[in-house]
Amino acid sequence: MTTRSVPVPDGLDGLRLDQAVSRLFGLSRSAAAALVEAGDALVDGVPRPKADKVSAGSWLEVTLPAPPSAVEVVPQAVPGLRVVYADDDIVVVDKPVGVAAHPSPGWTGPTVIGGLAAIGHRISTSGAAERQGVVHRLDVGTTGVMAVAKSEHAYTVLKRAFKEREVDKQYHALVQGHLDPLRGTVDAPIDRHPHHDYRWAVVSGGKPSVTHYDTLEAFPSASLVDVRLETGRTHQIRVHFSAMRHPCVGDLTYGADPTLAARLGLSRQWLHARALSFLHPRTGKKFGSSATTLMTWRTRCTHSVTPPDPPRSRADKTVEGELHRAHWRPASPVGQPVVAAAGTHDVAAGTGTPADAGVDRRRAALDHGRPAHRGVGGRPG
DSSP letter string, 119-166: TT------SSGGGTTBSS---TT-EEEEEEE-SHHHHHHHHHHHHTT-
In one-letter notation, the amino acid at residue 220 is P
Burial classification of residue 11, based on how many CB atoms lie within 10 Å of its CB (0-12 exposed, 13-18 middle, 19 or more buried): exposed
CA distance 148 to 92: 6
CA distance 87 to 150: 8
Q: Is 34 in contact with 62 (CB distance < 8 Å)?
A: no
Q: Is 174 in contact with 297 (CB distance < 8 Å)?
A: yes
Distances in Å between the Cα of 98 and the Cα atoms of 101, 172, 267, 298 are 10, 18, 11, 21
Q: Tell me 243's DSSP state.
A: H
Q: Is 179 in contact with 339 (CB distance < 8 Å)?
A: no
Q: Which of 18, 139, 187, 257 is catalytic?
A: 139
Q: Is 109 in contact with 98 (CB distance < 8 Å)?
A: yes
- Helices within the chain (DSSP H only): 17-25, 29-37, 112-118, 152-163, 236-243, 258-263, 298-302, 357-367
Q: What angle do CA 281, 284, 286 make, to 5 degrees?
A: 100
Known catalytic membership, residue 88: no
Distances in Å between the Cα of 34 and the Cα atoms of 22, 37, 38, 51, 195 are 11, 5, 6, 12, 15
Q: Hey, which residues does 185 pair with through a beta bridge?
A: 212, 340
Q: Is 77 in contact with 118 (CB distance < 8 Å)?
A: yes
Q: Is 8 in contact with 17 (CB distance < 8 Å)?
A: no
Residues tagged active-site:
139
